Structure 1
């Protein structure tokens, strides 16, 4: 190898090492709030501030993440939408309670990801770039899902949307919700969705001319789920799971979404079209990572504040 080649190799290794240090030590802790506005409420309706939390993958020692999540209460959300994978360690539940009890008294809805049922296991991080991950529940350590649901459902009073529906009235607007359990593990029951939604709409006794706003909630945004939600006339859909790609290439974007969602939808607000219907789709890049792949590059962790407003606002 010539001296020039050796110098080039040394520079390349140096850049790679610097990028790795940045991805592990800096960016994965560079928490931020993304702000979106979605015009789906009736004209003149009071805005609704929705805080979308996803993929905390919380471990007991992550005090910086706990403090940051607690600080989000200062945004004064009217509603919490939690799209799962809250737990990242077998002993994480007390830490999660510390983080989320900052929102005590705020209405919310939630679904689970597979990491709420099973503790993470060591994996080759490069395997993530080769395609969607495969579940190995036979070797994974089960988590206390009953205790998690007691925290979210009983202590915080949030509604489970795991293959279920719910209705809330927030700031004078009726919000209807439909959700699925983790589609990445195939636990979604889309066959039940039409009947659940029909039953929910039959219970709507609102005597105004303003229709309820329908919100779809899922952990993993597989196309089949998004299509089903859109067919059921969801106005807006919330999802997580993708980590925004977790490792992105500047100018290129996400290399993978860990599902069949197109890479250009790995994070952010977009429109999802299906069968002549359309829904707003918000995919969160998530707040955490697996403790066995603690890396983010060109994809900082985020919570999302989605403000629902009347559809009478002007857009050019």
Structure 2
């Protein structure tokens, strides 16, 4: 079984806190600058696959239109959707201002994952995991996130979807806020991302203009010191059901170390059966509004509760469902702070 640990920034080098969850850490000035200067990513450009990529985006655009048509029932959404009940409760309980402050109190959480199969060259490799930014939900959010990111230095940044707040329609201010965030990212290998259920096909070009290489059921190989690991990214499996994990993993050698980016934890069983080593996802917001002790009031995900937030494992695969940065439905968080995850890979 793979060993998984979480450590605090202020732990002495080489020591780990052997516990399932650690308290989030505010501030990030202790993160060292990456020492890797020969990191190369291949497979980022797919000239031979552009036709397939365009065909997939056309399929996704069709499913987006179908899904958005089903969401036009404003009457249902206003009175019967679980989020609508939650909004009314927050208002009646006079919790709105307090929960809104909680939603802006973004934390930085350091994680250490240990794997016997990790190539030696990647011992100490650092990953910035961002998810569910919903960056236009509040005008102050982008500035707060950017202020934290500017002092974090990593080897690669992975973004697992939901860049915007709205599901239907377009908002140019989203890209303005995203620029404030992405210009503060210090990543030697750049930024890889995937799409979530709040994202649209039309967002792909804008994200790539901002420096995010969007993986759409694709994978890339990260090389360093003559060794490599693979990063695979699948399209949204929740609303649009455009994921194709076999296609994303197809180029990857069976024995290679694999990290999967998925928007939701729904693919945990299939990914574990296909020998994925580390599964990174979001979507659930950790519950966003939770009962004391962390129980989610609403999850919006049809997976067992153990996969809805934080660390988990399946067979020999480690997984992390990040609570994410932003919010959806209503600008509120309770017992579930917004989070930036900084992951360090270690060879066990």
TM-score by length of 2: 0.65
Higher RCO (CA 8 Å, separation ≥ 6 residues)? 1
| 2:127 and 2:155 in contact (8 A); partners too | yes
Return the alpha-carbon distance in structure 1 between the equivalents of residues 110 and 185 of structure 2: 19
- Measured on the aligned residues, the alpha-carbon RMSD in Å equals 2.7
Q: Does 1:62 align with 2:62?
A: no
Question: Is the alpha carbon distance of 1:184 and 1:213 closer, same or farther for their aligned partners in structure 2, counting shifts above 3 Å?
Answer: same
| 2:197 and 2:236 in contact (8 A); partners too | yes
Partner of 1:308: 345
Question: Is the alpha carbon distance of 1:28 and 1:171 closer, same or farther for their aligned partners in structure 2, counting shifts above 3 Å?
Answer: farther
Return the alpha-carbon distance in structure 1 between the equivalents of residues 112 and 336 of structure 2: 21
Q: How does 1:1-316 map to 2 (within 5 A)?
A: 17=93, 19-24=95-100, 26-40=101-115, 41-42=118-119, 45-59=122-136, 62-88=139-165, 90-91=171-172, 92-103=174-185, 106-107=188-189, 108-117=191-200, 144-151=202-209, 155-156=210-211, 158-170=212-224, 173-190=227-244, 193-201=245-253, 212-222=256-266, 225-251=267-293, 253-273=295-315, 278-290=316-328, 292-311=329-348
Aligned length: 252
| 1:163 and 1:189 in contact (8 A); partners too | yes
Return the alpha-carbon distance in structure 2 between the equivalents of residues 45 and 149 of structure 1: 27
Q: Secondary structure at the match of 2:151?
A: helix
Question: Is the alpha carbon distance of 1:170 and 1:267 closer, same or farther for their aligned partners in structure 2, counting shifts above 3 Å?
Answer: farther
Question: Is the alpha carbon distance of 1:288 and 1:215 closer, same or farther for their aligned partners in structure 2, counting shifts above 3 Å?
Answer: same
| 1:36 and 1:269 in contact (8 A); partners too | no
Which has the greater radius of gyration? 1
Q: Secondary structure at the match of 2:301?
A: coil
Return the alpha-carbon distance in structure 2 between the equivalents of residues 15 and 182 of structure 1: 32
| 1:253 and 1:264 in contact (8 A); partners too | no
| 2:153 and 2:186 in contact (8 A); partners too | no
Deviations 1:58-101 (A, max 9, x none): 11862343342353131211111100101225121121012112
Return the alpha-carbon distance in structure 1 between the equivalents of residues 232 and 182 of structure 2: 22
| 2:129 and 2:158 in contact (8 A); partners too | yes
Stretches of structure 1 that go unaligned for 5 or more consecutive residues are 1-12, 118-142, 203-210, 312-316
Deviation at residue 45 of structure 1 after TM alignment: 4.5
Return the alpha-carbon distance in structure 1 between the equivalents of residues 344 and 261 of structure 2: 16
Deviation at residue 148 of structure 1 after TM alignment: 2.6
Partner of 2:37: none
Stretches of structure 2 that go unaligned for 5 or more consecutive residues are 1-88
Partner of 1:135: none
